[in-house]
Structure formats: structure tokens, C-alpha cells
Amino acid sequence: MKKNRKHIVLLTPLFTYFTFFFFAPMFVLFVYSFWLKTSTGLVPTFTLHNYLYIFSRKLYPITILRSLRIGIITALICVLISYPVAFSLTFKYKKLQDFVLYLILVSLFSSYLVRVYAWKTILGSNGFINQILRYLGLIKEPLTFLLFSPTAIIITLVFILTPFTILPIFSSMQNISVDLIEAARDLGANKLQTFYKIVLPLSIPGVITGFIFSFTISTGDYVTPQLVGGTEGLMVGRIVQDQFGMTYNWPFGSALAYFMIFLLILLINVFIWITTILKLRRKY
């Protein structure tokens, strides 16, 4: 009983914080999603009109699919970049672990907006990339598709989210026992077989965590699409932000936000289910 009381006392501040600053606002938004906005204000009622309105115009389904596509591509690129980095730091260049991790952590302390504006400058018509290409004689006119396009969004988000993807993958690889790798080599496994049979399966939890993290953040982001996306890079986060900040249609903004939450939860569970099935097939 005394241990339970101690646990309750220790968890009370955290529970209180999450209740007031997370659960309560999310509950309020959930209630708002069933209300209606009229010319006189918000009408407290219960209706599915806001959820059904998402499918009444082509703009919203197209934007949702675009957001999911950008999120998936961004997450895949982040994983493909992060995995070799985490693998190298864990098994190849252990002496550089502390220094590289320090650089990764320092990059996280830099302002989000500063990094987005930096890439806006780099990808611009007079930016670093276009200037280098023109100097090398590879192009005569600036490449306009680099900025204000889905490509610019993906490049910027990959740069921002890669550190967040490296850390969970690196953490999962730290739990891989060296004895397992040595045992595999003693049994005649080469480097590729050791990686495929030992390292890859044991690092999958970190890969899943990094993928989910980068996928959810990139899909719901609205700052990056607003600054470097242009009209072709409109994403759901920007529409939700406009509903609250410009049109003041809080019920529809809440419904759209919750629809994306439910959709992301569904897709993440499908992804985890597929990964689990593949792991079981490999085991048997």
C-alpha cells in the first residue's frame, strides 16, 4: 500500500500536467467537431456534418492524400539516411559516437523556423543550389521546381526530422549484444548474413519508432508547407490552421484534425501489423 501511495504521489504532477494541457484541450476539440458554425457563432449540437463535409469537396481528399504521400516519402527517406548513420556509429566508428551524437543534439536546439528559412534560401532561384549549377554550366535558367513545390517540402522536412529518426534507431542498436554477432560469425555467418539475421531484426523497433515519428510530424506539419510549399504544396495542417486562424470555423477545423488523427492511427497500426507479419514469416 505504501509503495502504491508513493507511486500515486510521484505520478500526480505528471498526470495533472497532461490532464490540463493535453487531455482537456483534446476533449474540447473533440466536442467542437460535432458543433456547427453559423453567421451568429458556434451552435452547441451533435452532428456529423463537419466530418461528412470533408468528402463534399475534392480539395480536402486531395490534400489529405498529398499530405500522406509527402509524409510517407519523408519518413522513408529519413529512415534510409538514418539507418546507415546509426549502424556506422554503433559498429564501425564507436570513437566518434559521442561527437556525432553531440552534433545531432545541438542541431535540435536550433530554431525550427531558422532551419526552414535556411532551406528556403538554399532552394530559391538565387539560392546556393542554382548558383552552383549555373557556375558549373549545367543549367542556364534557375530550377524553379526546387522551391514552392512538394519537393521543397520533402527536402526541408527530411533535413529537420532526420536527427529525430537517427536517435531511436541508434538506441535500438545499442541493445544488440556483441555476443550474438560474435556467435553468428563463429557459426560461419558472413557480414551480410549477420546483418540480415541479427542486426536488422533486432533494430526493427527503432526503425518503426523513427518512421512513425517522422511520418506523423511531416504529415501534420503546416509551417514548412506554408513557407516552401506554395500552392502545389498545400497540406492538411495548413487547412486546419486556416480554419482556426482565418475563417474561425473551429468545428470543421476540429473535425478535420480528428479525422487525420484517426487516419494516422489506422495507418500506423496497419504498418505495425505488416511489419509483425513479415517478422513472423522470417522467423518460420
**How much is the pTM?**
0.89
- Per-residue pLDDT at 254 exceeds 70: yes
Residue 210 domain-assigned? yes
Query: E strands along the chain, which residues?
Result: 36-38, 41-43
Residue 225 domain-assigned? yes
Range of the domain at 220: 57-283
Separation between Cα atoms, residue 57 and residue 65, nearest integer Å: 14
| CATH number of the domain to which 233 belongs | 1.10.3720.10
Kindly report the backbone phi and psi dihedral angles of residue 44, in degrees, each rounded to the nearest multiple of 5, phi listed first: -70, 110
Residue 141 domain-assigned? yes
Per-residue DSSP letter, 233? G
Per-residue DSSP letter, 127? S
* Number of domains forming the structure of the chain: 1
Instruction: Determine the 3-state secondary structure of 43 from DSSP.
Output: strand
Mean pLDDT in residue range 230-241: 89
Instruction: Determine the 3-state secondary structure of 45 from DSSP.
Output: coil
Residue 33 domain-assigned? no
- Residue pLDDT, tens place only, 108-156: 888 888 899 888 889 888 888 888 888 888 888 887 778 888 999 999 9
Residue 25 domain-assigned? no
